[in-house]
Structure 1
Amino acid sequence: MDKNRKKQYLLLLFTAILLTAAAVIFILRDYMSRVDNRIYLTSTTNLREVYSQVNNKLSHIVNEQWDLLAMSEDYIDSNADAPETIVSFVDDWKLSWKFTDFYFINTAGEWCTPDGAAGTMSFGSAWGKLISKQEKVIVDADTQNQESFMLFAIPVDTGTYNGFSYDALAVSYSSDALNAALGVSAFRGQATCYITDLSGNIIFSDSPTKPIGKNLLNYLADAEFSHATYQKVQADWAANTFGQCSYLLNGEKYYLVYQPTDFSDWLLVSMIPADIIDSDMLIVQKTTTLMVGFTCVVILALAVIFMFMSYQQTISQKNQELFWRDIMSDIMLQNLDNVYIMIEVNQKQTVYVSPNVERVFGISHTSAHPLFAIQELELSPETLDFPIEDLMQMPNGGSRVMECQIRTPGASAPSLFQKSVFHILDGQNNLLIFEFSNRTHEQEIRADIEAALQAANTANQIKSAFLSNMSHDIRTPMNAIMGISSLLLHAAHNPAKTEEYARKIQSSSQYMLGIINDILDMSKIESGQTHLHPEPLNLSEQIEQIEMLIRPQAVQKKQTFSIYKDEILHESIEGDPTKLRQILVNILGNAVKYTPEGGSIDFHIRELPRTLHSYARYQFTIKDNGIGIEADFLEHIYEPFVRAEDSVTNKVSGTGLGMAITKSLVDMMGGAIQIDSTPGKGTCFDVFLEFRINEETMAGSKPDAPDSADASARLAGMKLLCAEDNALNAEILKSILELWHVSCDIYPNGKELCDAFASARPGDYDLILMDIQMPVMNGYEATRTIRNSSNPLGQTIPIIAMTANAFADDVQQSLDAGMNAHLSKPIDIDKLYQTLQTMFG
Structure 2
Amino acid sequence: MKAKNHNTNREKRAMKKRFRTAVFLLLFAGIVLTVFRYFKLVSKTVYEESVSHLTEVFHQSDNMLRELTDKNLTYLHMWGAYLQETSDEDKIRDYIENAQKDAGFLNFYFLSTDGNYKMLTGETGYLDLQENFEDEIQNGNDIVTNAVVPGKSQMLVFASPRAHGNYQGFGYDAIAIAYENSDIVNVLDISAFHGNAKSYVVHPDGRVVVDHSFKEWGNAYNFFGILREHSNIPEKEILELSGKFKAGDTDAMLVNLDGKNYYLVYEKSEIQDWVFLGLVKAEIVNASMNVLQRSTMMLVGIVALSVAGLFIWLILRKSRVSLKKKDTEILYREELFQKLSMNVDDVFLMLDAKTYKTDYVSPNVEKLLGITIEQIRKDICVLGKLHPQKSEDPKKNYLEKIQVDEQKEGDFEYVHQKTGEQRWFHNIAMCSEVNGKKKYILVMSDRTSDKKMNQALYEAVHAAENANKAKSTFLSNMSHDIRTPMNAIIGFTTLAVSNIDNKKKVRDYLGKILSSSNHLLSLINDIL
Aligned residue number for residue 168 of structure 2: 162
Aligned residue number for residue 118 of structure 2: 112
Aligned residue number for residue 421 of structure 2: none
Aligned CA distance change for structure 1 residues 468 and 105 (closer, same or farther; 3 Å): same
Of 67, 74, 77, which aligns to 1:67?
A: 74
Aligned residue number for residue 298 of structure 1: 306
* 1:332-362 per-position Cα deviation (integer Å, ceiling 9, x unaligned): 9856589999xxxxxxxxx999999x99983
SS at match of 1:115: coil
Aligned residue number for residue 34 of structure 1: 41
Any conservation in 2 of the 1:159–1:165 contact (CA below 8 Å)? yes
Any conservation in 1 of the 2:227–2:233 contact (CA below 8 Å)? no
Bigger RCO of structures 1 and 2 (CA < 8 A, at least 6 apart):
2
Instruction: Give how far 1:292 is off.
Output: 2.8
Unaligned runs of 5+ in 2: 1-6, 352-358, 363-375, 385-395, 413-425, 431-440, 493-502, 524-528
Any conservation in 2 of the 1:141–1:151 contact (CA below 8 Å)? yes
Aligned residue number for residue 248 of structure 2: 240
Instruction: Give how far 1:206 is off.
Output: 1.0
Aligned CA distance change for structure 1 residues 245 and 208 (closer, same or farther; 3 Å): closer
Aligned CA distance change for structure 1 residues 497 and 218 (closer, same or farther; 3 Å): closer
Aligned CA distance change for structure 1 residues 327 and 95 (closer, same or farther; 3 Å): farther
Aligned residue number for residue 703 of structure 1: none
Aligned residue number for residue 238 of structure 2: 230
Any conservation in 2 of the 1:191–1:270 contact (CA below 8 Å)? yes
Instruction: Give how far 1:406 is off.
Output: 9.1
Mapped partners of 1:23, 1:224: distance in 2 = 36
Unaligned runs of 5+ in 1: 342-350, 378-404, 409-416, 422-432, 485-493, 516-841
SS at match of 1:370: coil
Aligned CA distance change for structure 1 residues 475 and 126 (closer, same or farther; 3 Å): farther
Aligned residue number for residue 363 of structure 1: 399
Instruction: Confirm or deny that 1:277 pairs with 2:277.
Output: no
Instruction: Give how far 1:251 is off.
Output: 2.9
SS at match of 2:405: helix
Aligned CA distance change for structure 1 residues 54 and 503 (closer, same or farther; 3 Å): closer
Instruction: Confirm or deny that 1:153 pairs with 2:159.
Output: yes
Instruction: Confirm or deny that 1:289 pairs with 2:323.
Output: no
Aligned residue number for residue 550 of structure 1: none
Of 260, 263, 270, which aligns to 2:268?
A: 260
Of 217, 227, 239, which aligns to 2:224?
A: 217
Instruction: Confirm or deny that 1:177 pairs with 2:183.
Output: yes
Instruction: Confirm or deny that 1:55 pairs with 2:62.
Output: yes
Any conservation in 1 of the 2:156–2:179 contact (CA below 8 Å)? yes
Aligned CA distance change for structure 1 residues 456 and 478 (closer, same or farther; 3 Å): same
Instruction: Give how far 1:509 is off.
Output: 11
What TM-score does the superposition give when structure 1 sets the normalisation length?
A: 0.43
Any conservation in 2 of the 1:338–1:438 contact (CA below 8 Å)? no
* 1:171-208 per-position Cα deviation (integer Å, ceiling 9, x unaligned): 11111121123223443323321111111122221137
Mapped partners of 2:483, 2:198: distance in 1 = 29
Please list, as runs of the form range in 1=range in 2, the aligned pairs for 1:765-780 lying within 5 A after superposition: none
Any conservation in 1 of the 2:198–2:214 contact (CA below 8 Å)? no
SS at match of 1:179: helix
SS at match of 1:156: coil
Residue identity matched to 2:113:
T
Instruction: Give how far 1:61 is off.
Output: 0.8
Instruction: Give how far 1:109 is off.
Output: 3.3
Aligned CA distance change for structure 1 residues 180 and 266 (closer, same or farther; 3 Å): same
SS at match of 1:195: strand
Instruction: Give how far 1:308 is off.
Output: 1.9
Instruction: Give how far 1:312 is off.
Output: 2.9
Aligned CA distance change for structure 1 residues 184 and 94 (closer, same or farther; 3 Å): farther
Mapped partners of 1:239, 1:508: distance in 2 = 35
Any conservation in 2 of the 1:477–1:509 contact (CA below 8 Å)? no
What TM-score does the superposition give when structure 2 sets the normalisation length?
A: 0.65
Instruction: Confirm or deny that 1:202 pairs with 2:208.
Output: yes
Aligned residue number for residue 102 of structure 1: 108
Any conservation in 1 of the 2:81–2:162 contact (CA below 8 Å)? no
Of 465, 469, 480, which aligns to 1:473?
A: 480
Mapped partners of 1:437, 1:190: distance in 2 = 46
Aligned CA distance change for structure 1 residues 510 and 95 (closer, same or farther; 3 Å): closer
Instruction: Give how far 1:220 is off.
Output: 2.4
Mapped partners of 1:510, 1:146: distance in 2 = 32
Mapped partners of 1:508, 1:176: distance in 2 = 22
Mapped partners of 1:190, 1:452: distance in 2 = 23
Any conservation in 1 of the 2:348–2:442 contact (CA below 8 Å)? no
SS at match of 2:51: helix
Higher helix share: 2
SS at match of 1:107: coil
Aligned residue number for residue 391 of structure 2: none
Aligned residue number for residue 198 of structure 2: 192
Instruction: Give how far 1:156 is off.
Output: 1.4
Mapped partners of 2:205, 2:181: distance in 1 = 20
Mapped partners of 1:211, 1:436: distance in 2 = 64
Mapped partners of 2:134, 2:205: distance in 1 = 20
Any conservation in 1 of the 2:346–2:445 contact (CA below 8 Å)? no
Instruction: Give how far 1:310 is off.
Output: 0.8
Residue identity matched to 2:204:
L
Residue identity matched to 1:198:
P
Aligned residue number for residue 828 of structure 1: none
Instruction: Confirm or deny that 1:131 pairs with 2:176.
Output: no
Aligned CA distance change for structure 1 residues 304 and 74 (closer, same or farther; 3 Å): same
> Matched residue pairs, number?
438
RMSD (Å) for aligned C-alpha atoms = 5.2
Mapped partners of 1:407, 1:203: distance in 2 = 63
Aligned residue number for residue 43 of structure 1: 50
Any conservation in 2 of the 1:198–1:267 contact (CA below 8 Å)? yes
* 1:399-440 per-position Cα deviation (integer Å, ceiling 9, x unaligned): xxxxxx9999xxxxxxxx99999xxxxxxxxxxx9999899x
Instruction: Give how far 1:326 is off.
Output: 5.9
Any conservation in 2 of the 1:225–1:245 contact (CA below 8 Å)? no
Mapped partners of 2:34, 2:130: distance in 1 = 58
